[in-house]
Amino acid sequence: MALARGRRSDGAFNYWPGFVDALSTLVLSIVFLLSVFLVVQFFLSQEVTGKDKALEQLNAKIAQLNELLSLEKLGKLTLDDQVSQLKAGLASAETERDRIKGLYDGLAAAGNDAQGKTSELGKALDSEKAVSARALAQIEVLNQQISALRRQLAALEEALDASEKRDKESQNRIADLGSRLNVALAQRVQELSRYRSEFFGRLRAILGNRPDIRIVGDRFVFQSEVFFDTGQAVLLPEGRAELDTLAAALIELDKKIPSDLPWVLRVDGHTDVRPVTGPNFKSNWDLSAARSISVVQYLVSLGVPAQRLVAAGFGEFQPLDTANTEEAYKRNRRIELKLTER
């Protein structure tokens, strides 16, 4: 240190002595820390060694206790076997004692049996008599119950006969009502048929014998060309004229038919089998329904009661002619009018 100061006093500033001092101080600190670490490590190793020895001692004691426990269990099993043997011997001795006691009691009672048999027989006879009396009483009660059941059965048979008689009368009344109902329905059908004939006769007289209008069975058939252009559901002027005549006949018919007769005029639309073209209708079914609805709406606008009209579309599924010809297609494109019940 003095040498370093002496060198500094020479005038040139030297860093080396300071660096040496710092390095020596660091080395001394490291040596001290290592010493402390070694001392701590030594004490820790001593402590761990002591705990290992204590653990070994505990394990040895546990092993000794396990051996003692096994010996105790073995001794307990031996004692249990001895106790079981003693109990079996005691039970055998008690059984033998009871057997000997029973023999002695039997010998003592043998002398008294002869005296007691007479009294026992008397008691048994009295008991049998009492049983017979009770049986006779029960038989009497059963006879009374059987008589009561017979009376109830007779009453039930009478009630059943009366019920069957009422049932037959009801069936006869039902059959009579059914006959009356059938007669009434037949009368209504005949009455409606009469008005249908009158209506169709009036239409025939008004429309004349035209090739595009004809009667098929109970239906008045118009060719579609009378009312509509091809593929359209808008009524033509000449079709409106025909419907004007039809509406007048319907209004007059509605005045004649009794109000309680549930009649309707069904307007059925039909097409041929060829698919529709154009964006207005998706199928022949749509076209046939739209045409029948147009006819019904126009009749309502002329004063025909709406409740007397029904619109139905059948598409191409009810052809009059199944041939694939223009003439067959024309016949199948039609509007049908049918006067029927609702």
pLDDT of the residue at 54: 76
The reply to whether 73 falls in a domain is: no
Are 294 and 235 a contacting pair, CB within 8 Å? yes
Identify the CATH number of the domain in which residue 285 sits: 3.30.1330.60
Averaged pLDDT, 134-153: 81
Strands 263-270 and 309-313: parallel
Per-chain mean pLDDT for the chain: 80
pLDDT of the residue at 190: 60
Are 240 and 298 a contacting pair, CB within 8 Å? yes
The reply to whether 104 falls in a domain is: no
The reply to whether 329 falls in a domain is: yes
Averaged pLDDT, 306-335: 95
- What secondary structure, in 3-state letters, does the chain show? CHHHHHHHCCCCCCCHHHHHHHHHHHHHHHHHHHHHHHHHHHHHHHHHHHHHHHHHHHHHHHHHHHHHHHHHHHHHHHHHHHHHHHHHHHHHHHHHHHHHHHHHHHHHHHHHHHHHHHHHHHHHHHHHHHHHHHHHHHHHHHHHHHHHHHHHHHHHHHHHHHHHHHHHHHHHHHHHHHHHHHHHHHHHHHHHHHHHHHHHHHHHHHHCCCCCEEEECCEEEEEHHHCCCCCCCCCCHHHHHHHHHHHHHHHHHHHHCCCCCCEEEEEEEECCCCCCCCCCCCCHHHHHHHHHHHHHHHHHHCCCCHHHEEEEECCCCCCCCCCCCHHHHHHHCEEEEEEEEC
160/9: higher pLDDT: 160
Averaged pLDDT, 264-282: 93
**What residues make up the domain containing 306?**
209-341
The reply to whether 198 falls in a domain is: no
- Per-residue model confidence as pLDDT tens digits over 208-230: 566 667 777 778 899 999 999 98
The reply to whether 223 falls in a domain is: yes
Provide the whole-model pTM.
Answer: 0.46
Cα separations (Å) of 237 from 2, 58, 114, 226, 240? 141, 122, 135, 9, 5
292/29: higher pLDDT: 292
The reply to whether 294 falls in a domain is: yes
- Paired with 338 in beta bridges are 219, 266
The reply to whether 66 falls in a domain is: no
For residue 93, the one-letter residue type is A
Measured from the Cβ of residue 220, the count of other Cβ atoms closer than 10 Å reads 22
The reply to whether 252 falls in a domain is: yes
Query: Tokens standing for 274?
Result: 């060829």
pLDDT of the residue at 117: 63
Averaged pLDDT, 118-130: 71
Are 304 and 281 a contacting pair, CB within 8 Å? no
Number of domains within the chain: 1
